[in-house]
Structures are given as structure tokens and as C-alpha cells.
């Protein structure tokens, strides 16, 4: 079933609204991240309209549910552009869906800011209208490698979902570990939809790994791995994921303690407007914003700034503006190279301590020191 979300704000203007089309994964494997990113889009819409809109017009998002399905996402972006005749588009959740829909937006010469795609290869295919906001996926587990190295741990295992972004993140992590002189004792992929990780985790246990990193898109993968590590007594000293969200701790409780995770954004970061965004998000949606929500919001604000500076919705003029734009949003720094590839955003690593997310890497953004006691999945 296709779910349409369209939120309007009362304006007393003769000009029609600017309609921005997008899909987000509101159901399916990516729904945890997709719903949060959709919320970020909608909150940005509200805040832009409260300040009078853009180009003298209010902004309305038309958002379809792509159901975490690439074929459906392609169909829906074609529909948005050719049937709904939206004025502009913004990207879906994640690298897999972004890679799928990019040929559609390129064909129609529509600027697409991608809020949550991070795989470098997407920006190495000569695309002209696609813009990256996240740090590169190959660096998503860099914090885990750096902290393990500083602690003197040398044996690392990496497992990843067999999809575009997780594969890039896994390969990038191996490269980072080898650069540090660490021993990559296991590097394996698993099929999307896997729920039984016991075979992989037995290999991790037998490898003697001191550190385990997992790169995946579905939150359920991280949760299942932690539960099965405990069942199988997999005694790694550090465990980290490619994405940290509150639902991880909500599901696992004490078993989440001392786990690490990449977060492209946290409310403690020193970016303009973060406090106002966080408070507004809590009030509007009744939960804490994840980095996916901040990514949707921040990417929308980048697009609005580019439209305002350009003074037009013409895609070629907007493209030139986005290539030159350097700005800060609640989500981080934004600057891109000639490919539209992000060069300014770095991300942070968090650890769950006493049931809360705290930033532990890099030092310039840290709110706490990493803790290294015996984790709840280990007997050591």
C-alpha cells in the first residue's frame, strides 16, 4: 500500500506552494530510519513556512512510502516528476535506494540532495545533479578502529550485510584496520534478511577477535547479533555498529551497555540551531531525534538555503549553487567537490553508558571517556 504524507500550512498568498517530492521507507526493513528522516523533512517544512516560506511561497512535501523497495522507489520518483509534476525532489533513505533512483532524477535533470546515502561509488558515475550530506560510508566504523587501536587491541572481525552501503562500510573498515597494522581475523558478508547469525558468530568466536564491527542497514541485524553473541558467549572486548539509534537500547536494555555505534549527529554537537531543533522534534513527534531525523531536517535546510540564494527553482542554477555552497546546519558542515561528494562532514562515535548515548570519539566532540569494563555479552 502506498502511503502519502502531505502536511499543509495556512498561507494567505496568491502564489502556489512549492511542492517537493520524495519517498521515505515508512514500512519495510528501513522503516526505523526512514520514518525518522521523513519526520525531519516535515519539521523542516513547518519551520520554513513559519518564517514565510521560500521565494514568497510556502513549501509542501509530497512523500510516498517506498516500502524499503528499490523497484517501487524508482516507480514513485518517476510518478512524482512526470505525473505529480513536483517542483523539486529530495532523496530517499540510504545508499541502496539512492543508487536506484539516481538515474531517474538525472534523466529529468532534477537536483537531488541525498540526506542519508554515504557510499562513495554512487558519486563516481559521472552524475551531475546528486549531492551528498553524510560522511563517506567507508569511514562509518573509523571510530571503532581508532579506539581499539588506542587501547592496544589488534584482532578485529568485520561482518556486513550484502548491500551497497554495508559492503562499502565493511571494506573501508578493513582498509582502516590494516593501515593501523591490525590483524583482520574475519571479514564476511551475509544475505539481506538474515536473522540467524549463529554460524557467523561461531566463526567470530573461533577467530579470537577482540573487536567486532557490523555494517548493516536494518536495525534488527544489530539487535539480533547482540542477543546471539550473548547466547553463544562470544567474548569480544569491543562491539560497534554502523548506526546508533535509541531503539537499539530500547530493545536490548542492559545488553546494549558499552556497545558503540556511528552517529552522524548528536544533540550535544556544537552546530547552530541544534537545541531548538531537538526541542521542536520532541514536542512534534514525542521522541528523541536520531541522526536520520537530523539528516532529513538538515538536508532540507541546505536545499532551502540554496533555493533562496539562487532565487529560482531552475535545476541547473541550483546545481551550481549547491556546488559552491559552504554552510552549517544542525546536521553538520556542508561542502562538496565537483562530484557533489561530501568533503566537510565527519560524524561521531557514541557508546551506550548507563542506558544513555554519549559521544566518545573524536576527542573534540567527546562528552565522556570510553568505558572498557566487561560487556554484558561477554564472560570476561
CA distances to 174, 178, 184, 252 from 181, rounded to whole Å, are: 11, 5, 9, 33
State the pLDDT at residue 8: 45
Dist CA 31 CA 310 (whole Å) = 34
Residue-level length of the chain = 380
Name the helix (H) or strand (E) containing 151.
helix 142-151
| Domain 141-242+246-267+348-365, CATH homologous superfamily name and number | Response regulator (3.40.50.2300)
Q: Quick one: average pLDDT of 51-71?
A: 97
Instruction: Give the number of other Cβ atoms within 10 Å of residue 335's Cβ.
Output: 14
Q: Quick one: average pLDDT of 44-53?
A: 97
Phi, psi at residue 104, to the nearest 5°?
-70, -50
Q: Could you identify the residue written with the cell 541550483?
A: 318
Would you say residue 195 has pLDDT above 70?
yes
Cell of 297: 531536517
- Quick: pLDDT tens for 283-316: 999 999 999 999 999 999 999 999 999 999 999 9
State the pLDDT at residue 346: 78
Go through 340-358 and write b for each residue having 16 or more CB atoms within 10 A of its CB, e for each that does not.
Answer: bebeebbbbbbbbbeeebb
Go through 267-294 and write b for each residue having 16 or more CB atoms within 10 A of its CB, e for each that does not.
Answer: bbbebebbeebbebbeeebeeebbbbbb
According to CATH, where is 3.40.50.2300 located in the chain? 4-136+290-334, 141-242+246-267+348-365
Dist CA 166 CA 36 (whole Å) = 20
Dist CA 139 CA 120 (whole Å) = 10
| Helices 31-50/291-310 angle, 10° precision | 40
DSSP 333-375: EE-B-TTS-B-S---EEEEEETTEEEEEESGGG-SS----S--
How does DSSP classify residue 17? P
Q: Name 273's Cβ contacts closer than 8 Å, sequence gap at least 6.
A: 329, 330
State the pLDDT at residue 11: 53
Please report, rounded to a whole number, the percentage of residues in the chain having pLDDT higher than 90.
90
Instruction: Give the number of other Cβ atoms within 10 Å of residue 8's Cβ.
Output: 11
In the chain, beta strands by DSSP E: 4-6, 18-24, 59-65, 88-89, 112-114, 130-132, 155-161, 183-190, 211-215, 238-241, 260-263, 327-329, 332-334, 348-353, 356-361
Q: How would you classify residue 200: left for phi > 0, otherwise alpha for psi between -120 and 50, otherwise beta?
A: alpha
Minimum mean pLDDT among 28-37, 85-94, 334-343, 369-378: which range?
369-378
CA distances to 32, 75, 157, 200 from 78, rounded to whole Å, are: 25, 5, 41, 40
State the pLDDT at residue 5: 52
Dist CA 116 CA 110 (whole Å) = 18
- Quick: pLDDT tens for 314-365: 999 999 999 999 999 999 899 999 999 999 987 899 999 999 999 999 999 9
Indicate the fold that domain 4-136+290-334 takes in CATH. Answer: Rossmann fold (3.40.50)
- Quick: pLDDT tens for 133-182: 999 999 999 999 999 999 999 999 999 999 999 999 999 999 999 999 99
Question: What rounded mean pLDDT belongs to the chain?
Answer: 94
Dist CA 93 CA 273 (whole Å) = 23
Q: Quick one: average pLDDT of 56-64?
A: 97
Q: Could you identify the residue written with the cell 531543533?
A: 277
- Quick: pLDDT tens for 211-224: 999 999 999 999 99
Angle subtended at Cα 322 by Cα 35 and Cα 171, rounded to the nearest 5 degrees: 60
Residue (of 137, 175, 133) closest to 41 by Cα position? 133
Amino acid at each position: 500500500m502506498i502511503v502519502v504524507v502531505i502536511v499543509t500550512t495556512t498561507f494567505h498568498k496568491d502564489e502556489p506552494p512549492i511542492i517537493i517530492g520524495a519517498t521515505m521507507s515508512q514500512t519495510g526493513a528501513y522503516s526505523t530510519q526512514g520514518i525518522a528522516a521523513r519526520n525531519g523533512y516535515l519539521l523542516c517544512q513547518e519551520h520554513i513556512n513559519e518564517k514565510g516560506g521560500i521565494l514568497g511561497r510556502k513549501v509542501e512535501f509530497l512523500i510516498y512510502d517506498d516500502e524499503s523497495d528499490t523497484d517501487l522507489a524508482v516507480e514513485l520518483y518517476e510518478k512524482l516528476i512526470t505525473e505529480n509534476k513536483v517542483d523539486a525532489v529530495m532523496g530517499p533513505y540510504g545508499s541502496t535506494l539512492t543508487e536506484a533512483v539516481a538515474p531517474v532524477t538525472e534523466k529529468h535533470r532534477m537536483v537531488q540532495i541525498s540526506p542519508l546515502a554515504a557510499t562513495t561509488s554512487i558519486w563516481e558515475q559521472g552524475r551531475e545533479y546528486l549531492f551528498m550530506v553524510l560522511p563517506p560510508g567507508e569511514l562509518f566504523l573509523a571510530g571503532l578502529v581508532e579506539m581499539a587501536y588506542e587501547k592496544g587491541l589488534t584482532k578485529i572481525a568485520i561482518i556486513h550485510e550484502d548491500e551497497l552501503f554495508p559492503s562499502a562500510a565493511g571494506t573501508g573498515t578493513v582498509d582502516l584496520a590494516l593501515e593501523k597494522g591490525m590483524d583482520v581475523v574475519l571479514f564476511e558478508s551475509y544475505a539481506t534478511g538474515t536473522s540467524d547469525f549463529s554460524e557467523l558468530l561461531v566463526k567470530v568466536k573461533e577467530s579470537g577477535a577482540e573487536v567486532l564491527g557490523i555494517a548493516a542497514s536494518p536495525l534488527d541485524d544489530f539487535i539480533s547479533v547482540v542477543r546471539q553473541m550473548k547466547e553463544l558467549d562470544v567474548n569480544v572486548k569491543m562491539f560497534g555498529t554502523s548506526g546508533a539509534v535509541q531503539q537499539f537500547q530500547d530493545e536490548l536494555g542492559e545488553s546494549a551497555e558499552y556497545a558503540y555505534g556511528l552517529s552522524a549527529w548528536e544533540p550535544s554537537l556544537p552546530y547552530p540551531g541544534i537545541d531548538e531543533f531537538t526541542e521542536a522534534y520532541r514536542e512534534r513527534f514525542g521522541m528523541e531525534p536520531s541522526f536520520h531525523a537530523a539528516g532529513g531536517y538538515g538536508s532540507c535546510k541546505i536545499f532551502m538555503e540554496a533555493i533562496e540564494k539562487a532565487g529560482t527553482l531552475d535545476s541547473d542554477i541550483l546545481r551550481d549553487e549547491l556546488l559552491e555552497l559552504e554552510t552549517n546546519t544542525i546536521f553538520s558542515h556542508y561542502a562538496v567537490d565537483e562530484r557533489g561528494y561530501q568533503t566537510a562532514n565527519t560524524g561521531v562515535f557514541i557508546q551506550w553508558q548507563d542506558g544513555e548515548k554519549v559521544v566518545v570519539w573524536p576527542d573534540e566532540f567527546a562528552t565522556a571517556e570510553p568505558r572498557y569494563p566487561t560487556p554484558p555479552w561477554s564472560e570476561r
